Amino acid sequence: IKEFGIVTPIITRPKEDGNGYEVIAGQRRVRASELAGINTVPAFVLPLDRDRAIITLVDSNLQRENILPSERAFAYKMKSEAMKRQGFRTDLTSSQVGTKLRT
């Protein structure tokens, strides 16, 4: 990051209290930027509700290669609970959780 900067923007959403932004995906990039002395980072600001933010966070974290099986299971549980609160039919599709079903 010190040499090339941030290549992929972080994902944020406005805080519910209206003061600033919450980082949804890219916490490590923000921390690395701080350590490198970089004060600003490119960001997408998305109008996500709490559940959609959780789903986005989980999807982002599951892309990492070095995630423990227990962390992966907890992430899927968080995503499933958020999807249920949003009204997704998790019993009919797997595209939100994993590989698409073949017909």
pLDDT digits (tens, 9 = 90+) for 13-30: 999 898 999 999 999 899
* pLDDT at position 91 over 90: no
pLDDT at 101: 46
Sheet with strand 21-25: strands edge to edge: 21-25, 10-14, 43-45
pTM (predicted TM-score): 0.67
69 vs 44: which has the higher pLDDT: 44
* pLDDT at position 75 over 60: yes
CATH of domain 1-47: 3.90.1530.30
Average pLDDT over residues 24-51: 93
Of the ranges 2-6, 29-33, 66-70, 95-99, the best mean pLDDT one: 29-33
Q: What is the DSSP letter of 72?
A: H
Which residues, at least 6 apart from 98, have a Cβ–Cβ distance to it below 8 Å?
none
* Phi/psi of residue 44, nearest 5 degrees: -95, 130
9 vs 72: which has the higher pLDDT: 9
Q: Is 15 exposed, middle or buried (0-12, 13-18, 19+ CB in 10 A)?
A: exposed
